[in-house]
Structure 1
Amino acid sequence: MLKLIDVSVKYGSFKALHSINLEIHAGELVVLLGANGAGKSTIFRTISGLLKPTNGQVQFMGQSIGGWSPNRIVKSGIAQCPEGRKLFPEMSVLKNLVLGGYIHRKDKSAIARSLEHVFDLFPVLYDKKEQPAGSLSGGQQQMVAIARALMARPKLLLLDEPSVGLAPLVVEQMFLTIEKINRDGTGVLLAEQNAFAALQIAHRGYIIENGHLVLEGTSETLRDNEEVRRAYIGA
């Protein structure tokens, strides 16, 4: 479904990504683990068309998308839920969600079906749909952010640090929902620092350090790796 081939990215003279090779197959849930500043968000922004690779190729569904606009990439089937949620806090939950389905705005019935789907995933959002998004709790705002990305009906969902700042019980519920989204047929690339929770639901994973992918494998392999446990999971 998605393939990065020798992708490098620079911010000015600073090289943020070094020859990244990464792939996600249809229906997979893949986790990208790494510390703050390791390059996770840069990979996401490159896939989404917000950054252009200085070298290499980004391919989606067999097409090279490295030069495409973000709008065209969303239309092709990739949606991103950014780190920090990036909601419109003064607008209602419902309006935030409808904006997520903007590429389908001419199909009112499709928007209605998408809303029904995300309200089924996150019932609390239906009850709060007329409230300003900024008035919700942190966990509920993260639900809005994920639901907004799903409104584009993506084949591949990019989730950038969805658990940051959330209480442990909320994180547990969030990861169960992400697992359900994947089971329902949406591919997921999940960037996370909470390695233990992420590896419980992912099929495979990659570890990035200082812009280099240093390790990849199945979730079981990564969980059992002593260096990974020491650096990302703990005893």
Structure 2
Amino acid sequence: MLKLIDVTVKYGSSTALHSVNLEVNQGELVVLLGANGAGKSTIFRTISGLLKPVSGQVAFMGQSIGGWSPDRIVKAGIVQCPEGRNLFPEMSVLKNLTLGAYIHRKDKAGIARSLQNIYELFPVLYEKKEQPAGSLSGGQQQMVAIARALMARPKLLLLDEPSVGLAPLIVEQMFKTIEKINRDGTSVLLAEQNAFAALQIARRGYVIENGHLVLEGARETLCDNEEVRRAYIGA
């Protein structure tokens, strides 16, 4: 479904990604593990068209999308939920969600169905729909951010550090929801530092360090890897 082939990205003279090869198959939930600054967000920004690789290829559904604009990539079915949520705090929850459906703005009936699906997935957002998004708890704001991305009806959802700053119980609930989103048919690429939680739901994963993919494998392979356990999970 998604394939990065020898993708290299630079910020000025500094190389942020070094010949990265990564793929997500239809229906998969794949995790990208790495510390802060390792290159996870750079990969996401490159897939989303916000950064242009200096070499290599990004392909989606068999088509090269390396030169596409971000809005064209969203219309094709790749939608990113960014780290930090980036909500409009003074706007209502409902308006934030509606903005996520901008590319479908002429399909009023479809937007109504998407909202209904969102409220079934996150019932608290229906209760809070008229409240300013900035007044919600951190966990509820993260729900709004994920829900806003889902309003664009993605084929592939990019989730960048959804567990940051959340209490352990909320993280557990959040990951169960992400697993359900995937089970309902949306492919997911999940960037995370919380390897323990992420590897409970992912089928496969990659480990990135300093812009290099240093390890990849099935969930069991990564869970059993001594370096991964020491760096990201704990003994």
Instruction: Using structure 1 for the length normalisation, give the TM-score.
Output: 1.00
* 1:159-212, Cα deviation, whole Å (9 max, x unpaired): 000000000000000000000000000000000000000000000000000000
Aligned CA RMSD, in angstroms, stands at: 0.3
**Whole-Å separation in 1 of the counterparts to 2:43 and 2:132:** 31
Aligned to 1:224: 224
**Whole-Å separation in 2 of the counterparts to 1:109 and 1:192:** 35
Partner AA of 2:30 in structure 1: V
**Whole-Å separation in 1 of the counterparts to 2:7 and 2:102:** 30
Give the secondary structure class of the aligned counterpart of 1:230.
helix
Structure 1 residue runs of 4+, over 6 Å off? none
Identical pairs, percent: 86
* 1:88-120, Cα deviation, whole Å (9 max, x unpaired): 000000000000000000000010011011111
Give the secondary structure class of the aligned counterpart of 1:159.
strand
5+ residue gaps in structure 2? none
1:223, distance to aligned residue in structure 2 (A): 0.2
**Whole-Å separation in 1 of the counterparts to 2:70 and 2:132:** 27
1:85-100 aligned within 5 A:
85-100=85-100
**Whole-Å separation in 1 of the counterparts to 2:54 and 2:89:** 35
Aligned to 2:104: 104
For the pair 1:209 / 2:214, whether they are aligned, the reply is: no
Instruction: Using structure 2 for the length normalisation, give the TM-score.
Output: 1.00
For the pair 1:74 / 2:86, whether they are aligned, the reply is: no
Aligned to 1:44: 44
Aligned to 1:184: 184
**Whole-Å separation in 1 of the counterparts to 2:35 and 2:178:** 21
Partner AA of 2:188 in structure 1: V
1:216, distance to aligned residue in structure 2 (A): 0.1
**Whole-Å separation in 2 of the counterparts to 1:58 and 1:116:** 33
Aligned to 1:154: 154
Aligned to 2:140: 140
Aligned to 1:15: 15
5+ residue gaps in structure 1? none
| Aligned residue-pair number | 235
1:217, distance to aligned residue in structure 2 (A): 0.2
Partner AA of 1:94 in structure 2: L
Aligned to 2:129: 129
